[in-house]
């Protein structure tokens, strides 16, 4: 039995993904950036020169993680901005 109040048996996975993306738009941006960095790193794998494979993969992982951490940081900053600095209407929480 699921204790999540937002869960609905009629809600499909695609509509749930769209709803979650609207609630926190930086999550799909972070995921897309991660996949982009990994795809670019794999594409550049053949022209890495005389760099060791392990060093190339470590650099690719650090870049991908950096993109995700940056997207998460921007998301937190955006949510803090909307929560604390944007004036709210009198009827809102």
pLDDT one-digit tens code per residue, 54-63:
998 999 999 9
What residues make up the domain containing 59? 52-86
DSSP for residue 45: G
Backbone angles phi, psi at 52, to 5 degrees: -65, 150
Residue 33 in domain: no
* Residue 19 host element (H or E): helix 13-23
Torsion of the alpha carbons at 91, 15, 81 and 90, rounded to the nearest 10: 0
The pLDDT-based confidence of 93 (bands split at 50, 70, 90) is low
Q: Which residues have C-beta within 8 Å of that of residue 67, sequence separation ≥ 6?
A: 30, 33, 34, 36, 37
In a domain, 25, yes or no: no
Would 30 be classed as within a structural domain? no
pLDDT band at 7; cut points 50, 70, 90: low
Q: Render pLDDT for 23-38 as a digit per residue (tens, 0 to 9).
A: 888 888 888 999 999 9
Residue 65 lies in a domain: yes
* pTM for the full predicted model: 0.67
61 in any annotated domain: yes
Residue 5 has pLDDT above 70, yes or no: no
The count of structural domains within the chain is 1
pLDDT of res. 12: 77
């Amino acid at each position: 039995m699921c204790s999540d109040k937002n869960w609905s048996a009629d809600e499909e996975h695609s509509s749930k993904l769209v709803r979650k993306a609207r609630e926190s738009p930086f999550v799909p941006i972070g995921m897309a950036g991660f996949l982009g960095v990994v795809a670019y790193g794999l594409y550049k794998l053949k022209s890495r020169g005389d760099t060791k494979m392990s060093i190339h993969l470590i650099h690719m992982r650090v870049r991908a993680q950096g993109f995700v951490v940056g997207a998460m940081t921007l998301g937190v900053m955006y949510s803090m901005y909307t929560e604390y600095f944007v004036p709210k209407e009198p009827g809102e929480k």
